[in-house]
Structure 1
Amino acid sequence: MSFPAYPSYQDSGIEWVGDVPSHWLRQPLFALVAERDESNEGMIENNLLSLSYGRIVRKDIDNNDGLLPASFETYQIVEPDDIVWRLTDLQNDQRSLRTAIVRERGIITSAYLATQPRGIAPHYLSYLLRAYDLTKVFYSMGGGLRQSMKFADVKRLPVMLPPANEQVAIAAFLDRETAKIDALIEEQRCLISLLKEKRQAVISHAVTEGLDPHAPMKDSGIDWLGEVPAHWDVKRLRFICHIGTGDADTADAVDDGAYPFFVRSPVIERIGDYSHDCEAVLTAGDGAGVGKVYHHFTGKFRAHQRVYIFSRFEGVHGRFFYAYMSEMFAKVVLEGVRRQRQWHRFEVVN
C-alpha cells in the first residue's frame, strides 16, 4: 500500500524510526503517559482481563488455574484506553506481542505495567507501540537484554507525536485497514480448513476404496472399515512390515549433522551418524505427535528412541502405507473404536 508524501521530512533521531514528517514532535514516554497503580484490594473489581496475542481479553474469574479469589486482590485495576505492557521474560520469549490497549474496566496481574495516556491519543499510541514491538525495540532497552523491565526502564522511550487531529486520523485509518485485513485472514482460514477436510476425504477414499468407482466390493470384515475393493487383501500390520524403534535421544542432534534425525515432531533434526539405510515410515511413539506426525523417507537416517520405524515392506508400497497410516491410524485407534496402541494388530488394506 502506498501513501501520499508529506511536504517535508526530518530525521527523527530514532534509529528504528528513521525520517518522519517535519511537523511531528519527539517526546519521551513519561511526558505522554502516567503509570497506573490502582490496587484491587477489597475486590473492588472482578472483571478479570489478560494480555493474549496482543489483545486484552476477558477470562473467567471463577475458573482461573486454581487461583483463589483472595489472589485477585493483588491485581491492579485498569480502565478503557489504558495501555498494558508485558515486560517480563524478555530473555526467553522474543516472539510474544507485549503491548495492548484496554477496552473495558477490569483487573489484570500486577506483573504487567499499566499506563494511562494523557498527552497522546490512546489508539495512536497503541499502534505506535505495536510497531515498536514488532521491531523488537523493547529487548535492547536499558543497556542490554534484561529479564524484565519496569516503568523506570521505559519512561524515556522516544515517541513521535503528530498533531492531535492527525493522531486520531492515523488510528482511525489503521482501524479500518486492519479490520479489512483481519476479515480476509478469517476467510482464508475458513478456506484452508475446508481444503484440509477435502484433502483428508480424498486420501481416506483412495486408501480404503481405491480409484475405480466401478470396482466390485467385498466386506473387509473390519467394522470401522466396511467394504473394500474385492481384489484387495486385508492384513495385520506385522505381516507386511518390520516394526522397530529408534535408539537416539534428542540431545544427540547436531546442527550440521550429515544425516536426517527423526524425532517426535514434524521438524526433522540432523545427526552425525545413521542406524538405518532403507525405505521407512516413521511416527511419534508418544507425546503430542502420536497419530499426527508421520514421515516417509528412503536412505540413511537415525531416529529417536520413542519414534516407531516401519520398514522392510512386503506386498505394500511405502508411499501407500504412509498415506494409509497417516490418515487412518489416529482416526481409528486414537479417536475411534479401538483406543490402544498395539501397532502389530492394526489392519492394513492393499
Structure 2
Amino acid sequence: MKKYESYKDSGVGWIGKIPSHWSCVPFRRIAKVQCNLVRPSENLTMFQISPDSIEKNSGKIIKTRTVEEAKVDSDNHRFYKGQILYSKIRPLLNKVTIAPYDGLCSADMYPISTIENTKYVMYYMLSEAFLSSVKNIVADRVKMPKINQDELKNTDFVIPPFSEQQVIVDYLKDKTLKIEQYVSARERERELLDSLKQSEIANVVTKGLNPNVRMKDSGIPWIGMIPEHWEVKRLRHFIKFVSVKGHGEKPLLSVTREQGVIERNVESKEENHNFIPDDLSGYKLVRKGQFVINKMKSWQGSYGVSDYEGIVSPAYYVCDLTFPCKKFFSMAIRSKAYIPFFTQYSKGIRVDQWDLSPIGLKSIPFIVPPIEEQQAIVDYIEAKLSKIDCCMADLQAEIDYLKEFKQRLISDVVTGQICVAKPQEGEQQ
C-alpha cells in the first residue's frame, strides 16, 4: 500500500505515527455534543433512534421507532439531519451513525456536530484507533460501561487537512461497500444453510427417519401427520418446576434464542448484558440436564436443556426433566416445530410484555417417539447434519475476517498508514 512521504509522532501510543501534515487533536477541538432536551407535551411526529437502532461497528441504522412507540420522555434529545449520533452506553460496541433525518434520540445517545467533514469523523469513530481510545477510558468498568461528555471531549482524533477528508471518505465508501456486499452474500449463504438444517431437524423430530412408516394426524395444524406409533403428550409429563437459591458463587448462565443455555461472559464489556446485581444469592441454581426457560422471551426460542451448572435470573423457569433421551428432547424442543407452541401459550398486551405462565408451559404438546427411535434421530442429526455445521463455521470465519479487515482498513486510512489522498499544492507533505 502507498505511504505518505513523511510522518511524525502523534503523541498517542496506540495511534503511533501520522502523516507530518496531519494533526492529532482532542475531540472538543473539532466537534460538540448538543443535547437539546424535548418536552413530553410537545406534539411530535418524528422518529426516535436508540442504541438498539444502530448496528455495531458499521454505522448503519437497522431499525427505528415512532415517537409514540418510544414513549418519549423529558430525557430524550432532539437531533438534526446530518448530525453524528453516538451511543454513550457500552461504547465498545461502537454504535455510531449519521442522522438521515430530524428526530429524537434516547438519553443514551449523544447528538454531535462537527466543523470537519461529518462522514470523515464518523469513519474515524468506527476505527480501531478511536476504539482504542475508548478502551483506555472504560478499561476498569465492568458493569454497563458508559463514556461521559468530558471523557468524549478529550478523546484523541487524527485530522487530515479538510481538502483530503472528502477523498478519504470517497475511498472508504467505495471499499467498505464492496466488503459489505461480499459479507452480505456470505451471510445469506449461511442463513440458507441454517434454514436447511433447521427444516431438516424439525422434519425428523416430527416425522421420523422412515419415509414409508404409516402416519396419523397429530391434531396440530403446523405439524400435520406423525408416525402412527408415536405419542403426543404434554410437557407436564416430563417437567417439574424447581427453585433452589443461595448459590451466588456459581457461574452465571444465559438463555439465548440462538444457542439455548450458555455460560455468560461477564468480563466482556462489548456484550449487551443486563445489569448484574452484587448479591446473586437470589438467583436460581441450574444443574446439567435441567430445562431452563426465559419466560418473557420463550416465544422467540429462548429456552433449552443446560449442559452447564450455574445460576440464572430468578425470573427464569428452571425445571427438572424426566425424559428418556434428553438430547432428543433438546433437539426437538429447540427446533422450529415447537417455537409456535411457546408463542401460542404466551400472553400479554404487547409482544415485548408477553409472559409464559407455568400452566401454559405444562400445556405445550410434545411428540414422543419410542426410545430407540429417539437415539437414532439424535445420531442422524449429529452425523448427517455435521457437514452443514462445518460449512456454516467456514462461512462465519470468512464473515468475521472480512468485518475485521474492514475495520482495520478504516483505521489504517484515517490514521494515514495508507495514502489515498494527495496533498493539495502548498500543503506540507
With the length of structure 2 as denominator, give the TM-score of the two structures.
0.58
Distance apart, 1:141 and its partner CA = 4.8
The worse-fitting range, judged by mean Cα deviation, of 301-310 and 336-345 is: 336-345
Q: Identify the residue that residue 194 of structure 1 maps to in structure 2.
A: 192
Distance apart, 1:17 and its partner CA = 0.9
The worse-fitting range, judged by mean Cα deviation, of 24-33 and 11-20 is: 24-33
Contact 1:281 1:318 in 2 (8 A): no
Distance apart, 1:207 and its partner CA = 2.1
- Aligned-pair identity (%): 17
What root-mean-square deviation, in Å, do the aligned CA atoms of Structure 1 and Structure 2 show?
A: 4.5
Selected match of 1:330 from 329, 334, 338 = 338
In our comparison, the structure showing a higher alpha carbon Rg is 1
1:238-283 residue CA offsets vs partner (Å, 9 max, x unmatched)? 89x753344434853524xxxxx8775534459xxx9978xx4634
**Structure 2 matches for 1:33-48, cutoff 5 A?**
33-34=31-32, 36=34, 47-48=46-47
More strand by share: 1
Number of residue pairs matched by the alignment: 320
Q: 1: CA distance between counterparts of 2:199 and 2:139?
A: 55
**Is residue 341 from structure 1 mapped to residue 352 from structure 2 by the alignment?**
no
Q: Identify the residue that residue 169 of structure 1 maps to in structure 2.
A: 167
Contact 1:33 1:117 in 2 (8 A): yes
SS in structure 1 opposite 2:185? helix
Contact 2:92 2:131 in 1 (8 A): no
Which consecutive unaligned segments of at least 5 residues does structure 2 have? 265-284, 348-359, 371-429
Q: Identify the residue that residue 311 of structure 1 maps to in structure 2.
A: 322
Q: 2: CA distance between counterparts of 1:281 and 1:97?
A: 37
Which consecutive unaligned segments of at least 5 residues does structure 1 have? 256-260
Q: Identify the residue that residue 148 of structure 2 maps to in structure 1.
A: 149
> Which letter maps to 1:149?
N
The worse-fitting range, judged by mean Cα deviation, of 36-45 and 49-58 is: 36-45
Note closer, same or farther for the CA distance 1:97–1:209 as it changes in structure 2 (3 Å cut). Answer: same
**Is residue 183 from structure 1 mapped to residue 184 from structure 2 by the alignment?**
no
Q: Identify the residue that residue 329 of structure 2 maps to in structure 1.
A: 321
Q: 2: CA distance between counterparts of 1:250 and 1:190?
A: 45
Note closer, same or farther for the CA distance 1:111–1:245 as it changes in structure 2 (3 Å cut). Answer: closer
Q: 2: CA distance between counterparts of 1:222 and 1:187?
A: 40
Distance apart, 1:188 and its partner CA = 3.2
**Structure 2 matches for 1:273-292, cutoff 5 A?**
280=289, 282-284=291-293, 286-289=295-298, 292=302
Q: 2: CA distance between counterparts of 1:345 and 1:44?
A: 48
Greater relative contact order: 1 or 2 (C-alpha under 8 angstroms, separation 6 or more)? Answer: 2
Q: Identify the residue that residue 408 of structure 2 maps to in structure 1.
A: none
Contact 2:94 2:131 in 1 (8 A): no
> Which letter maps to 1:117?
T
Q: Identify the residue that residue 250 of structure 2 maps to in structure 1.
A: 254
Distance apart, 1:13 and its partner CA = 0.8
Contact 2:86 2:97 in 1 (8 A): yes
Contact 1:141 1:154 in 2 (8 A): no
Contact 1:11 1:19 in 2 (8 A): yes
The worse-fitting range, judged by mean Cα deviation, of 191-200 and 13-22 is: 191-200
Q: Identify the residue that residue 203 of structure 2 maps to in structure 1.
A: 205
Contact 1:78 1:106 in 2 (8 A): yes
Note closer, same or farther for the CA distance 1:347–1:155 as it changes in structure 2 (3 Å cut). Answer: closer
Note closer, same or farther for the CA distance 1:99–1:30 as it changes in structure 2 (3 Å cut). Answer: same
Contact 1:40 1:77 in 2 (8 A): no
Q: Identify the residue that residue 70 of structure 2 maps to in structure 1.
A: 65
Q: 1: CA distance between counterparts of 2:174 and 2:197?
A: 35
Note closer, same or farther for the CA distance 1:138–1:336 as it changes in structure 2 (3 Å cut). Answer: closer
With the length of structure 1 as denominator, give the TM-score of the two structures.
0.69
SS in structure 1 opposite 2:4? coil
1:120-146 residue CA offsets vs partner (Å, 9 max, x unmatched)? 322111111222686252365599879
Q: 2: CA distance between counterparts of 1:207 and 1:288?
A: 23
Note closer, same or farther for the CA distance 1:253–1:312 as it changes in structure 2 (3 Å cut). Answer: farther
**Is residue 15 from structure 1 mapped to residue 23 from structure 2 by the alignment?**
no
Contact 2:25 2:157 in 1 (8 A): yes
Distance apart, 1:302 and its partner CA = 7.3
Note closer, same or farther for the CA distance 1:327–1:281 as it changes in structure 2 (3 Å cut). Answer: farther
More helix by share: 2
Q: Identify the residue that residue 83 of structure 1 maps to in structure 2.
A: 84
Q: 2: CA distance between counterparts of 1:302 and 1:112?
A: 34
Note closer, same or farther for the CA distance 1:267–1:142 as it changes in structure 2 (3 Å cut). Answer: closer
Contact 2:78 2:105 in 1 (8 A): yes
The worse-fitting range, judged by mean Cα deviation, of 288-297 and 7-16 is: 288-297
